[in-house]
Chain A
Amino acid sequence: MKFAVKKALSNGRARTGVLQVGGSSCPHPIETPALLLTTRKGLPLFISPDLLPSLPFPDSHLLQFSPLHFLDGISIKTISNIGGVHQMVGLREHIFAAVPRDSIVSLPEYDSTNRIGASFETPCGRRLIKPAEYMEMISSMKPDISVSLADEVPSWVSSKRNKASVDRTLRWLDDCISLNVTGRTLFGSIVGGSSEDQRRHCSEEVSRRNVSGFWIGGFGLGESMDERSALLTAITDVLPEDKPRQISGLELPEEVLQGVAAGIDLFDSTYIYHLTLGGFALIFSHEENKRKVSSYELSDIGNDDTKINLRATIYRKDASPIVDGCKCYTCQNHTKAYINHLFNVHEMLAQTLLEIHNTHHYLGFFRSIREAIKDGKFEQFRKSFVGSRRAAAAASLGAMSCIRI
């Protein structure tokens, strides 16, 4: 794996970079900040592999999965016989990052985690995973990037428990490094809960080890957005500039922007999953944002809304696409009225079409972020985006209460 950082001037910690993984099998470098598409068992939830090429290229080629998804149904020996995760899911040119936790069905269960292994709530019940088992999964699945096993704790645990989580995570990292005999690209996990000192300490320790990049865990587990910025910068200030930084648990656009501002490079797409299941389609215009930002019209930006609920009866007769001019498969081929009908009659194509649009749209958001950084206008971009979202949220308060905004 190769990673090069191009830091644009006057952007604070925000940075763009180029990630090149897998050598010749993946000839297409991925620009960061980037979105890793969250998968279930290596495939997006509802988009079948033949529909993936309709998504932006190569942006959509970064996938994230949890090896724990395969605890049930297929043995690691069989996965090894098939040739690893790329062969198994038929996506040979995609980049796979293995992260034990996925924020959807494989959740850290800190109460049951002990010194011998990390506990997770998985589709096949609560499971305790030891570093040796985990690395065995990694060596048969052969992902391009794997993240070391971590003891993630929520923000409210005692400082004693938090310290234990840091100690364990570092010890497991050493185990993972020594078990990584085939030399696969390994990202070291950073924890430390809501203690800046522990975060700094953990980051320093992980940086000292032989890792190709960093994975930041323990976010999205009860901390507030306000306390998060200081924690993130405590981490990234310590980390070397030349290695990629991945995070889990930051979902919303504002959270992504907060992470980018702190110098994070890689994010997951759990947000899209929640939107899609709820029937929500992203409609905010990043092109519009960009135009307005470049002309410095920061006060008045964008539309009055950022997403719409396609289950709503107002779309029953709406023969227009989700977003006029959107280049995604869904908007090129289908109307809001049809998707509204599919939701009404509980047909799976509703989720398929919505996941395509939302993924396309969110990848576009990441592209806008990269362009803003390159143009040296990231802070303006962030401010205007967050400002317009707040205005929209205030305007639609009460109308939509079923999802975090």
Chain B
Amino acid sequence: MALRFEVLGRFNHARAAQLTLPHFVCQTPLFMPVGTQGTIKGLTTSQLEEIGCQIILGNTYHLALRPTSELIDELGGLHKFMNWPRALLTDSGGFQMVSLLHLADITEKGVTFQSPVDGKPMLLTPEQSIQIQNRIGADIIMALDDVVKTTITGPRIEEAMYRTLRWIDRCIAAHKRPHEQNLFGIVQGGLDPVLRDICLKGLVERNLPGYAIGGLAGGEDKDSFWRVVAQCTAALPEDKPRYVMGVGYPLDIVVCSALGADMYDCVYPTRTARFGAALVPEGVLKLKHQAMSSDVRPIDPTCECMVCKNYTRAYIHCLVTKDAMGSQLLSFHNLHYMMKLSRHLHSSIVEGRFPEFVCDFLQKMFPKGDVPEWVCNAMEVAGIDISSCCAPFFSSQDKMKEEVFPINVTA
């Protein structure tokens, strides 16, 4: 085990912790931006530090193709290769294969797929995934799991869950750098509480440095989503980090943190930037919208990032989707927003004002008090009283605000 996880504060299930990794001391809850190919959307590593990124995610599948894990290893590991002094996490590569390649086939040996380079059949075994990740050298590496779509039902879910458990032992056995890299196991089992429970027990028995909740954020309904998270966080050990894979939207992160999760990753903030959307406390601001062309306010008047300090919505409007600089600046702001959200989650838990933070967050995002039902249900289980922001109120002022501020709340 190459990490230390110290809980600094709690509010019911929610916790704020200090996660000490080989390359960085992180504060949780935390959001990890996705740097698929060893870089994030035109931002330099100094900018990512300035934004406050603590852990960056690299995609094993992509890195293994180019520049290859052998080359990264030869040049001293991914940290050195991309000159990132803080923490890194790599996924197993399995998810990318299943989601990007139509011809991936999973057997007991591993994931068989057609090479995108020469079309030949290739096999990624749990051992190879770990070997590749050992070469890349991230602080946290992920076990190869049997990934199935969340919307699938039936015996395939059960098969995948048991296979994931069998593969974890092969991953543990193959892991050559346990004192420098932390292997996280992934809880599978679809939306079935019984299967999730078997998987949870099996993984906890292995006493891994950390645990991920997998198989979510794939189009399942929100009520099922939070119930799986709640079940997993309740059963996972208190003294280990919990990572919800592929999540997500700011609202999802707040809910999952209330339920006791610590880590998140998602391409959303940078992907949505490319399409001209900015994350703001009210939801999403679409900079492509014609109304933005004469709006001389910053993207978010409450944001203190380099972009909001210097630029008007009007100027960003004339850059987005036409000039590279548009997505660079929006990615900067969006990642800054996610990091600020992480910091606020952490500090509000430590300072014992987590419910106030949650209410404030929900009030800004749902000024009419129309907080989605799944959020209310999850918060009830989390023991956070949000009644003050669910009370429906409607004023003419809000209506006006909506007209000049075309937002699209992602919920």
Contacts and interface: CB of A to CB of B under 8 A. Distances in A.
Contacts of B208: none
Interface stretch (A18-26, A67-75, A140-148, A365-373): A67-75
B322 A78 contact: no
B315 A82 contact: yes
A240 interface: no
User: Taking each of B293, B318, B324, which has the highest tally of chain A beta carbons within 10 Å of its own beta carbon?
Assistant: B318
A347 B39 contact: yes
Given A46-B324, A48-B329, A348-B328, A41 B319 contact: yes
Interface stretch (A4-12, A107-115, A169-177, A334-342): A334-342
Interface residues of B, number: 43
Interface stretch (B20-28, B42-50, B240-248): B42-50
B38 interface: yes
User: Taking each of A89, A341, A347, which has the highest tally of chain B beta carbons within 10 Å of its own beta carbon?
Assistant: A341
B310 A353 contact: no
B389 to A, nearest CB: 35
Interface in A185-202: none
B1 interface: no
B67 A341 contact: yes
A333 interface: yes
Contacts of B109: none
Contacts of B315: 41, 74, 82, 88-89
Size category, A interface: 35 or more
A317 interface: yes
A50 B312 CA distance: 16
A371 B41 CA distance: 39
A345 B82 CA distance: 14
A51 interface: yes
Contacts of A89: 310-311, 315
Contacts of A329: 44, 46
A309 interface: no
B62 A345 contact: yes
A49 B310 contact: yes
A58 to B, nearest CB: 20
Contacts of B322: 73, 123
Contact of B311 (A75, A90, A337): A90
A316 B83 contact: no
Nearest to A330: B44
User: Interface of chain B, helix or strand or loop or mixed?
Assistant: helix
B33 to A, nearest CB: 14
A338 B328 CA distance: 19
A349 interface: yes
Contacts of A342: 37-39
A81 B311 CA distance: 13
Contacts of B75: 317, 319, 335, 337
Interface string B264-304: 00000000000000000000000000000110100000000
B325 A45 contact: yes
B323 A317 contact: no
A344 interface: yes
A340 B71 CA distance: 12
B332 interface: yes
B403 interface: no
Contacts of B44: 51, 329, 333, 349, 352-353
Given A41-B319, A337-B81, A78 B293 contact: yes
B306 interface: yes
B325 A40 contact: yes
A63 to B, nearest CB: 14
Nearest to A77: B294
B47 A50 contact: yes
Nearest to A85: B315
A333 B46 contact: yes
Contacts of B38: 338, 341-342
Contacts of B40: 349
A358 interface: no
B323 A41 contact: yes
A49 B306 contact: yes
Contacts of B293: 73-75, 78
A347 B40 CA distance: 8
B318 A73 contact: yes
A74 B306 CA distance: 21
Nearest to A353: B44
Interface in B319-344: 319, 322-325, 327-329, 332
Complex A-B, nearest 3 residue pairs according to Cβ-Cβ distance, in ascending order:
A90-B310, A73-B318, A348-B42
19 contacts: A41-B323, A48-B42, A48-B306, A49-B306, A50-B47, A51-B44, A73-B318, A77-B294, A82-B315, A88-B312, A89-B315, A90-B309, A317-B71, A317-B75, A341-B66, A347-B39, A349-B42, A351-B324, A352-B42
